[in-house]
Amino acid sequence: MTSINILAPAVLITGVSSGIGEAMANFLLTRGYRVFGSIRKLADAQRLIDSWADSFIPVEMDVTDHASVEAAVASVQKALAGSNLTALINNAGVSAAGPLLEQPWEEIQSTFEVNVFGLLKVTRSFAVLLGRGSEMPGRIVNISSVSGMITVPFLATYAASKHAVEALTQGLRRELLSSGIHVAAIEPGFIRTPLFEKSKKALNTESYTESGYSNSWAVFNETLRGMEKRAKSPDVVCKAVLHAISAKQPKSRYPLDGLWWAGKLLPDRVFDQLILSSLGLSEWLKGRDVKPLSIN
């Protein structure tokens, strides 16, 4: 890693190889920030360097591997040459779908390894570079989701991981109040990114054919594939992140999907029906999917 201009504010973004992370890196680079971006493949590093030149500094890091994270901290610290990070932006994440009683355990576990434990591992390790207690301490921004407040069928594993991110964000914010380090959560809904496309392609209508959820799973697949019309541009996330890291009075939460308000206002039974209907699962309410479950 080469030395960089220490006069510009520096941020670390995890998971910049594609999707929201790549969009955020590009957005902040064009606004004068130095961006340290975590990548897992060297090929991605070269591609991004070619696109962004000197203001982007790739950091090879696996957020689930403690040794990899510690090596990344040392590398970034050396490049900062005594200055601190303006912000740590925890973006790296994975998505997985399936009925909770039948979803492969390894898939559930890996979702938490990246989305929850990886986020906390990175935060604990990079906190030393945020200037805790200094005149201008850095900030922490966690990319959560509307799923951190609302859980829909077949996305419960992902939602549970994002609920955990919400809890970690609140806990960190309150524990770091006296240090001056502000902690915020960005809570987008569907965002038009390669990850969203990858998630749609990864859905396999054959996965739960013999399951008690076979009919509803097939309908869910079709509904999710049609959600692209509702998907928003990554710019809405980028603008929220910029406010969170630069505003004099940043918000603690940035909800970017209006659906979460309905969950707070409506009774559970009514909201359950609304969720199922919006996913095309109204027949499920009538007990149409009643095959025996094959619990793993």
158 is catalytic: yes
Q: Calculate the CA 75 to chain-centre distance.
A: 24
Average pLDDT of the residues in 271-290: 74
Crossing angle between the packed helical segments 19-29 and 194-202, to the nearest 10 degrees: 180
Q: Are 94 and 114 in contact (CB under 8 A)?
A: yes
In 3D space, the residue among 282, 102, 293 whose CA is nearest the CA of residue 212 turns out to be 293
Q: Catalytic pick from 158, 208, 213, 254? A: 158
CATH of domain 10-217+232-265: 3.40.50.720
Higher pLDDT pick, 229 / 105: 105
Between 57 and 5, where is the model more confident?
Answer: 57
Q: What angle do CA 275, 276, 281 make, to 5 degrees?
A: 155
What is this structure's pTM?
0.90
Of 20-29, 39-48, 97-106, the least confident: 39-48
What's the confidence (pLDDT) of residue 222?
82
Using one digit for the tens of pLDDT, what is the confidence trace for 60-118? 999 999 999 999 999 999 999 999 999 999 999 999 899 999 999 999 999 999 999 99
